[in-house]
Chains A and B, each alone.
Chain A
């Protein structure tokens, strides 16, 4: 979904947005935004007045211009919203192309049947082979295949999907590029992952988020009180023998009510969601994005996130009177058939340290003993011609080997025990190596922490987020890795229950908790967390449980998500502050213009309240018109900011507040003085008034 072609410069998008900006003038659409609705009513009234005056041959260019600019104000706001929606819509269109319309091979009993993809039900079983598009979301129940998921993730490298385990989920709309898999469908057409993404992107009827609702209340309250202030102004002005016409009063009202934030509010929300999608994260609700900005604690899975996912052999520690090379050779032999990353890393280490070439053992000479959960060891038996075991080489958990060697009449050297404890204390895993009745030594396996992860956690800490590592390791190992990776805390020997309990405990203390996970056993915790980010590579259950899905399956994506959440709130806050701060200048433009002629002393041009005209604008009409024009244009100028979001840097709250207050508060007070004066100069120059 890395749809780079929907940039800000897409002209067709602009044309479409302009069109829908006009369509949104429908009162049924306008009423949803109270601030803009008041503007709409004001614009309507002014227009009616203009036409009724015109009918009686009193053409007023001033009234016409006020009406036009009031309409522009609304259209600009609608345009902002349409633009934000349009960018999402373009992405949704792209995704829709991946929906499957064709036939698929459904398994009924022992037979295959060709059916329409749209007719599939939950629980149906289908077969997909090379070149097929997977008809709907499902779980692989048989086979293994490489799949092109670029339609969803934008990532062109194919991924492996296989039955069982944590990589069994397939997504409708993706393509099988090799092999054959049998899939049990888990979502009906219309409810698939792809469908929901499209729905989320397209759906303009978003639910308002809690902060958005609260802000709307503030804006409504301001509008109400300013409506009263403007209405009573008419009464007070009449009392003071000042003539205030209705268009002027409406102009004042529209300038004062927070049209800037009112007009851009929904665009900000839509754009926030959209920004997240660009970062390849699908949020199932706006609420989740907002909550992300508030996260205090992040629970993060160790494996594959903090560490590379596999333990690596880093050293051979030989028993007394045993050469290290001897140990390496035996360890290599024991690992030759071990296809696990740990096994491979042992072979590599032996090769690197002692230039031991991996010998090819002919099957006739040897018998591999695979790892099993009961024996907790693996290895190889080197056989004589007659099938007798010549050498019995094993590597495995220390206590398992210990039991074995004692059973064979040997012993476990105490010096080695010291090394074993040291490895354990440093967070590593010791593997003992056994060769014909005696222990040769131990291999030091170590979790390798990903490069750069420490810096990412430091960044999170700066944002006020504590990271907690979850791992199935024992506490000692966990502590060592936690220290190395720079997480704030860890949970060792974690079970699904303990993860869930941890989240509940933290939530009870008032923390907001985020969790990233991919496995089915993460699902309960993902559902309980305030923000549950499921990896797209994860199981269907995990993706269902989380309220966000990270298509890149990048665990540090949470930082981006938090930033987007914060940005969303900051943009709203900054523009609200700006909008309200603007009012001061507008008062200084419009009030002197209205009150200028009150209580004029005989022989003077202007009344005493003209002293408030600190911008020395050209005329009352030009002053009012300038304020209205500024009020409309500022929306256009702020559209990019609304769509992009105010920049969010990880810093302390007071530094952030000071910065935003300076820019949007102080700037909001002074900018309109300059802007209105400039507009006044321009419209006077081109004789608009």
Chain B
């Protein structure tokens, strides 16, 4: 690794740590309805939206009503995205006259974007019109990210409020999340991207004549506006098929740096916000420590393994599948960030990562997308593990486990485990069936352990709402479109609904005052225990599969066998 590469990583981490408290404290203000420096600009808009949509912002919802509102909006989003896709040939802003999207693909894509997964079984430039990209996908990018944050807010309220059923108003949380947080950030960010040369137009594709005298079709489109939110909102769905490896999507070193930074920005700031809203900053910092610790561990292994020579190919550095202008460090670092956060945008083909780096990318997703994770969803996923850790720790200090003074009963634990095992079970069952059935094996581009990795990655990505892909796997078949769609639904809602239910039951309880003997979740012992619980649960579930996939491939690479 070069010194400039290390310097870049150093600047990246410093900037992230600098922006985290700034954005975090801003969001904390926004979501409790306090005044911010943007209020003069946005609060009239906010009020107008409430009036227009007949929303009473003072009305509070219980968790069930909140969940139903969420389902309602998700359902509407799904229908809109689905119907826009299957009718795009009749609709305007389709300069290339792209045909209607097939039903199965449209179903998959609609679910993918509404669940913040942004799994793409298609290539944007050859499948979707500008209208669909803008009106369906970009809108879903905003809404799905805001929904994740909203669910997190409910959990925070469940923890902090006492003896109540009132957990906030979904429409207010959603509006504030988009209006005060996502929209301004996206605008700033897309302007920055435009300055670097990311395209933003509605022109038809351009035919270019290359120096060799050949013709090349250059896709156009409103890319910058969508790229900003797909990086910020942990969505990851590229405007073009190759995502941020495309020069129109990610033209310069600076754009690459900024896009990579945007991946972790909101999930990171949300942890800070959490600490402020809970009035327990030490606890939040411990969670931050765990998050960034596991991330650093995985990223280091990925970088290390990317720089290992490949004896099978006899090359010192593995550059196949990477953009030469981006290079190994930036590709590996991006891969680490995008699989830690449930972003899923890529600037290199993960299929071409070294076996261990690919394995680490997979492992981060399989942990449940909690290492930074998705906007909101990452932190509430992490909090599920925190609750499980607190449960174990509470027993070990001889008290009924309690979190922030709220006793954890059978109901909360049931929901915690449901949310933790649902995505994992989906991955195992999905991957198992894909291999056991011939239809699954037909989609594989490679055999041996690499083929197994492709399948595992696919299901891991879908069921944990990441959305990135191991390129070799052809997922655009009717059956995979439908089954992966279902996996994405499970990954989103089998976690989100239990989280809301936990919030509901925690809010009903009275927080007990802490004493000497209550387990404090704000010290290193807690952090170490949390890391152990996360890694052990992840390891127990996926060690056999990972051993036969990336680990085996790594060893075989050293004996010069490739797949």
Contacts and interface: CB of A to CB of B under 8 A. Distances in A.
A609 interface: yes
Contacts of B543: 587, 591
Interface in B4-39: none
Contacts of A231: 428, 432
A664 B529 CA distance: 12
A637 interface: no
A665 B532 contact: yes
Contacts of B301: none
A296 interface: yes
Contacts of A238: 435
Interface string B431-456: 11001100000000000110110000
A652 B513 CA distance: 16
B519 A609 contact: no
Contacts of B519: 653-654, 657
Interface in A258-304: 290-291, 293-294, 296
Interface string B520-563: 10010100110010001001111111011101100110110100
B74 interface: no
B316 interface: no
Nearest to A587: B543
B400 A211 contact: yes
Contacts of B424: 225, 228
B510 interface: yes
- Looking at A225, A226, A660, which has the most chain B CB atoms within 10 Å of its CB? A225
A217 B429 contact: no
A644 to B, nearest CB: 15
A366 B356 CA distance: 105
Contacts of B556: 599, 608
B552 A598 contact: yes
Contact of A239 (B388, B414, B452, B539): B452
Nearest to A580: B536
A235 B548 contact: no
Interface stretch (A67-75, A88-96, A381-389, A504-512): A504-512
B40 interface: no
A214 B425 contact: no
A465 B68 CA distance: 43
B393 interface: yes
B311 to A, nearest CB: 13
Interface in A592-612: 595, 598-599, 601, 608-609, 611-612
B435 to A, nearest CB: 5
Contacts of B401: 211, 214
Nearest to B552: A609
- Looking at B391, B413, B431, B517, which has the most chain A CB atoms within 10 Å of its CB? B517
Contacts of A587: 539-540, 543-544
Interface residues of A, number: 75
Contact of A229 (B408, B449, B541): B541
Given A217-B417, A229-B542, A236-B548, A508 B510 contact: yes
Contacts of A293: 398-400
A622 to B, nearest CB: 20
A612 B546 CA distance: 13
A574 interface: yes
A595 B517 contact: no
A576 B541 CA distance: 17
Contact of B552 (A225, A240, A658): A240
A236 B520 contact: no
Nearest to B558: A608
Nearest to B388: A218
Given A236-B435, A652-B516, A566 B399 contact: yes
B435 A570 contact: no
A215 interface: yes
Contacts of A664: 396
B184 interface: no
Contact of A464 (B400, B511, B518, B542): B518
Contacts of A581: 536
Interface in B381-425: 388, 391-401, 405, 408-410, 413-414, 417-418, 420-421, 424-425
B515 interface: yes
B395 A576 contact: yes
A214 B408 CA distance: 9
A221 B395 contact: no
B368 to A, nearest CB: 12
Given A464-B518, A653-B516, A608 B410 contact: no
Contacts of A611: 555
B71 interface: no
Instruction: Summarize B's interface: helix, strand, loop or mixed.
Output: helix
A237 B197 CA distance: 49
A189 to B, nearest CB: 37
Nearest to A215: B395
Contacts of B518: 464, 653
B49 interface: no
Contact of B435 (A217, A239, A598): A239
B512 interface: yes
B552 A462 contact: no
Given A228-B428, A236-B548, A240-B548, A509 B513 contact: yes
Nearest to A237: B548
A678 interface: no
- Looking at B396, B398, B523, B532, which has the most chain A CB atoms within 10 Å of its CB? B398
Nearest to A461: B516
A232 B431 contact: yes
B410 A570 contact: no
A427 B97 CA distance: 96
Contact of B517 (A228, A290, A463, A580): A463
Contacts of A236: 431-432, 435, 452, 544-545, 548-549
Contacts of B545: 229, 232-233, 236
Nearest to A228: B428
B395 A211 contact: yes
B536 to A, nearest CB: 6
B552 A599 contact: yes
Given A217-B417, A510-B510, A595-B548, A574 B396 contact: yes
A89 B215 CA distance: 91
A256 interface: yes
A654 B425 contact: no
A587 B544 CA distance: 8
A499 interface: no
Given A240-B452, A653-B518, A569 B548 contact: no
Contacts of B539: 584, 587
Interface string A18-52: 00000000000000000000000000000000000
A131 interface: no
A660 B396 contact: yes
Interface in A457-486: 462-464
B506 to A, nearest CB: 13
B457 to A, nearest CB: 14
Contacts of A681: none
B395 A235 contact: no
A232 B548 contact: no
A323 interface: no
Nearest to A224: B421
A217 B559 contact: no
Contacts of A580: 536, 540
Contact of B425 (A228, A256, A509): A228
Contacts of A229: 428, 540-542, 544-545
A570 B396 contact: yes
11 contacts: A214-B410, A222-B540, A225-B421, A232-B429, A236-B548, A293-B399, A512-B512, A566-B398, A569-B398, A573-B394, A599-B556
The 8 closest A-B CB pairs, nearest first, are: A573-B395, A566-B398, A464-B517, A608-B555, A510-B512, A221-B417, A573-B396, A464-B515
Given A225-B428, A256-B540, 16 more contacts: A214-B401, A221-B420, A232-B432, A232-B545, A462-B516, A464-B516, A509-B512, A510-B510, A569-B394, A573-B394, A573-B397, A577-B392, A581-B536, A587-B540, A595-B547, A664-B396
